[in-house]
Amino acid sequence: MDKVKKLLIIGSVWPEPNSSAAGTRMLQLISLFKVEEYAITFASPAMDSDFMVNLELVGVDKKTITLNCSSFDGFVKDLNPSVVLFDRFMMEEQFGWRVNENCPEALRLLDTEDFHCLRVARQKAFKEKRPFVEADLFVEAVAKREIASILRCDLSLIISEYEMQLLTEIFKIDSSLLLYLPFLLEEISNADIDKLPLFDERNNFVFIGNFLHEPNWNAVQYLKETIWPLIKKQLPEAVVHIYGAYPSQKVLQLNNVKEGFLVKGRAANASAVVQEARVVLAPLRFGAGIKGKLLEAMHCGTPSVTTFIGAESMHGDLDWNGFIADNPEIFANEAVLLYQDEKLWLQAQKNGVEIINHRYLRGLFEGDFMKKIKWLQANLQEHRVNNFMGSLLQHHTLKSTMYMSKWIEEKNRKK
């Protein structure tokens, strides 16, 4: 009888698909393993939230774990997973050495979500009012941690083609340790588009994004202070709705009915909100990965105006679902044009459908993903021998992280 295939996911937070693209991404990964009949356990040290998905409803066991605590050792040893998926490199730092000690034969995967050091370096360059250059990545402490985590794992899932390029060409990571795996969506048919609201049935602009994510907060500030007045000057009756999970008081204070800048907070149904809008605005000035809000706009048949960072790695050689502009005057002018010109709007909508159907279909990636997993499981020792830098880091980092964790655990015990 075949051994039961077990997947352990160690998450930094519990998945919240209605709060962030990261939550949606996690459910997509879970679905890939469910098809292969894995028994799945999702473990996290995070507190429960009111908006987390009910994991039991998707057939996943839930387990709360503790940072810097040997109780995890017994848990993971008893579970004996065949695959461990770390959600972001911070979880690999915390628990990777324990997995390595207690389940050395488990395949170790890392879902990067986005390249954290790229986002951090771009944000730093933005605050210093200078252009970002790729050399900035090497001076970021988080880059050293993130690259070390990628090297220690057997395979890292990369969501952006540009980040794949950075990892292989700038950081010289062997391609055998990386797999390009973007968001995984279902095909959009003409019948799906026919069900969506028409141009004349839609009103207003919309921005949507989780406010715990710094690029989103910065984008809303930029929209309020710079871009929206330019749009409002041309369209005096225009209104923009600002939606996003976890808005702080400083976000809520931007609400101004007279200016048509309405801060709504969390959307009960993000898709419904985007479908009702005529144009999505996403003036992102730094960030990384690919943007779930812009894919959602395409899926809802809603054209968007964004920046070059916003659209990075999302559309390949295909025309964008609207316009891409970094200059605020051009951004505003193109937003107004898209809002008023139905013919242009319909073409932009069509472009979005083409992007999803040619670049993000689940069927384009799930076969290669599982084929890679099975190959790694069958050739794990050879794969690890070939990854000498990974084994070197596993040896040294394991010791330093292990002793730090044990010191913290002992300190906590004496309190």
19: left (phi over 0), alpha (psi -120 to 50) or beta: alpha
* pLDDT attached to residue 398: 56
Beta bridge partners of 256: 261
14: left (phi over 0), alpha (psi -120 to 50) or beta: beta
pTM of structure: 0.92
Taking the C-alpha atoms of residue 75 and residue 260, their distance in angstroms, rounded to an integer, is 53
Q: What is the pLDDT of residues 27-49, one digit of tens each?
A: 999 999 999 999 999 999 999 99
* pLDDT attached to residue 397: 58
Extended beta strands in 251-395, E state:
261-265, 279-282, 304-306, 322-324
As a whole number, mean pLDDT of residues 320-337 equals 98
CA atoms within 13 A on the CB side of 396: 8
Which two tokens mark 59? Answer: 């057939």
Given pLDDT bands bounded at 50, 70 and 90, which one contains residue 1? very low
Taking the C-alpha atoms of residue 43 and residue 45, their distance in angstroms, rounded to an integer, is 7
- Mean pLDDT across the chain: 94
Angle between helices 366-378 and 21-35 in degrees, nearest 10 = 60
Q: Helix, strand or coil for residue 228? A: helix
**Is CATH 3.40.50.2000 correct for 6-184+362-414?**
yes
Taking the C-alpha atoms of residue 310 and residue 129, their distance in angstroms, rounded to an integer, is 19
Q: What is the 3-state secondary structure (H, E, C) of 359-383?
A: HCEHHHCHHHHHHHHHHHHHCHHHH
* pLDDT attached to residue 393: 81
| Residue 318 near residue 352 (C-beta atoms within 8 A) | no
Beta bridge partners of 9: 42, 85
Of 182, 396, 187, 372, give the one whose Cα is nearest residue 290: 182
Extended beta strands in 176-329, E state:
178-180, 205-208, 240-243, 261-265, 279-282, 304-306, 322-324
* pLDDT attached to residue 404: 67
Please list the residue range(s) of the chain that carry CATH number 3.40.50.2000.
6-184+362-414, 190-359
As a whole number, mean pLDDT of residues 377-406 equals 79
Given pLDDT bands bounded at 50, 70 and 90, which one contains residue 223? very high
| Other Cβ atoms within 10 Å of 211 Cβ, number | 22
* pLDDT attached to residue 372: 98
| Residue 293 near residue 24 (C-beta atoms within 8 A) | no
Task: Classify 190-359 by CATH class.
Answer: alpha beta
